[in-house]
Chains A and B, each alone.
Chain A
Amino acid sequence: MNTVFHSVNLDKSKCLGCMNCIKRCPTQAIRVRHGKATIISERCIDCGECIRICPHHAKTAKTDSLSMIEDYKYKIALPAPSLYGQFRNLEDVNIVLTALLELGFDSVFEVARGAEVVSDATRKLVEKGGLKKPIISSACPAVIRLIRVSYPELIDNLLKLETPMEESAFLARKEAEEKTGLPQEDIGVFFITPCPAKITAIKSPLCADKSNVSGAIAISDIYPKLLHKMKHLENVQELNQASKAGVRWAVSCGEAYSAGINNYIAADGIENVIKILEEIEDDKLNDIDFIELNACTGGCIGGCLTITNNFVARTRLKALKKFVQDTDNKINNEDELKEIGWKGELEPASVLKVADNVTDAMKFMNQVEEMVKTFPGLDCGTCGAPTCRALAEDIVRGYANVDHCIFRLKQEMEKNPNTNNDDIEKMIPVPFRGTIDEEKLKWT
């Protein structure tokens, strides 16, 4: 297991070793060992589902603190469009933007602006044609990572464009350099993020050497400070330079809407994303032009680092009234269209594959199939793996033992003539007592 960067952090003192996260993880990347959740690094896609589900708040995102901005001479805030949906009774985004300056930033650059540029690039590329259909949006970094580990053959369908965040950071840096004359290392660009996947995209980009973003501050971290400033603003500056089209990216369907694509599917929530990816893989959606996928329910407003429930945030965003109408957040020429494309190739990381050659893989698979039959199929999670099958695969890979299954352990113990079978029966969790047809399972 390699040590690539992940933005999901475990606070061991808070982790009770319960089964909630292992069940929730869409790539089966978590196991409970020695009473603590452990992440299989190569499988984790940083979607944040475990952060969302953990009842003990043991899973956190590795975000940056607001004080980090002091490391730079010129500090730029990059508010995600989803930030605007966090507030009650907000009509004018300039209040949020001005409050960000009050928090110590020298300027703000709305990510909605970058989103409009990406939308324009999308429109132009779709018009040009020649893209593999259905075109899959590359805006959600968790989806990109999911495709990379589980659906590598769909990499060719990805729209190879920078994310609104990266594009905004690029444009913000350019603007700041022209304005201040400062060298790039003195310019700090901070994304106000709704999710941990974006943080991973910054700290460990897949298709570029380095991100233009210096740090990521969670919406949930900045929210109270920001709210305080918003309440005590003396004058509101006219800082908004994005139209509603860019802001709509915060909500599922917004991307297709902003790019003016009609024949599209927008799926949100990681389970739905997986279902759609399966259908694309089976060639069932070859009549669709564009597929927008968001790992979080509702889109970015559903990110696990937001404050407001995504259904509420959707309505809050609709309530925003004052937006500039016409913006120049556009792709102006071929060079710019080229520049917004990915700088490198996305390499597949097929973690599904079990061996380097088919013969070894078949050997593995047969062992797994045989082993699965010897487990009760309850997927109870008591072994620390999400399913009986996952445990079987772990065992064949050498990461777990057969007696991690409590039912198998019980059977082993019953073989010992000195043990009392009534006591052993009590080992089995109450819901499962007496339910297992031991004859049926080929336990040996």
Chain B
Amino acid sequence: MQDTVKLHFDVSGNDFTCAGEASGKIKRTLKQLGFDISLVRNVAIAVYEAEINMVIHADGGVIDVDIDSDCITVVLKDRGPGIPDIELAMKEGYSTAPENVRMLGFGAGMGLPNIKKYTDEMNIDTVIGVGTTITLKVYNK
């Protein structure tokens, strides 16, 4: 148990006041652990985007973080509607966010592309009507 640090967060859906709380805590923990700030920033931005996606599209979910000295792994699991066309969702500017969400400044269609940009590995496992699990990896180089 001493070689890794594990964090767990429950993210509630459609509640923008709490959105970003998990990524903020992950960032603080990584900073305290002394990880290089560029890594911290990459993880924080990617998780923030994914967390917001969870809030907007999937009525929340859970985030599990596994920190070891070589790699940060973040698994975001939701029971949302699933992503019908991942390729389309990966296009910058493509968004299915409803109007009320866009009014809040979210839903610019940068979520998934940004997550990919800031991580070394991104795996999306999605089943329509069941949910989506996104696994992110950022290596400590």
Contact string against A for B residues 1-27, beta-carbon threshold 8 Å, 1 for contact and 0 otherwise: 111110000000000000000001001
Given contacts A278-B24, A282-B27, A283-B41, contact A361 B33 (CB under 8 A): yes
**Contact in complex: A282, B33 (CB < 8 Å):** no
Q: Does B37 contact A (CB under 8 A)?
A: yes
Contact of B2 among A282, A350, A354, A363 (CB under 8 A): A363
In the complex, besides A350-B34, A358-B69, A362-B4, 8 extra interface pairs with C-beta distance below 8 angstroms are A352-B31, A356-B34, A358-B33, A358-B34, A362-B67, A363-B2, A366-B1, A366-B5
In the complex, how many angstroms separate the beta carbon of B68 from the nearest chain A beta carbon?
8
Q: Does A132 contact B (CB under 8 A)?
A: no
**Contact in complex: A362, B32 (CB < 8 Å):** no
Contact of A153 among B28, B33, B37, B140 (CB under 8 A): B37
**Contact in complex: A365, B32 (CB < 8 Å):** yes
Which residue of chain A lies nearest to B23 when distances are taken between CB atoms in the complex?
A282
Contacts of B44 in A (CB 8 A): 281-282
Count class of interface residues, chain B: 20 to 34
Contact string against B for A residues 329-358, beta-carbon threshold 8 Å, 1 for contact and 0 otherwise: 000000000000000000000101111111
| Distance in angstroms between the alpha carbons of A283 and B38 in the assembled complex | 11
Which B residues have a C-beta under 8 Å from some C-beta of A? Answer: 1-5, 24, 27-29, 31-35, 37-38, 41, 44-45, 48, 67-69, 140
Contacts of A281 in B (CB 8 A): 27, 37, 41, 44
**Contact in complex: B32, A354 (CB < 8 Å):** yes
Contact of B34 among A282, A361, A363 (CB under 8 A): A361
Which A residues have a C-beta under 8 Å from some C-beta of B? Answer: 152-153, 278, 281-283, 350, 352-359, 361-363, 365-366, 369
| Distance in angstroms between the alpha carbons of A391 and B34 in the assembled complex | 20
| Distance in angstroms between the alpha carbons of A361 and B2 in the assembled complex | 10
**Contact in complex: A282, B32 (CB < 8 Å):** no
Contacts of A369 in B (CB 8 A): 5
**Contact in complex: B45, A282 (CB < 8 Å):** yes
Which residue of chain B lies nearest to A348 when distances are taken between CB atoms in the complex?
B37
Contacts of A353 in B (CB 8 A): 31-34
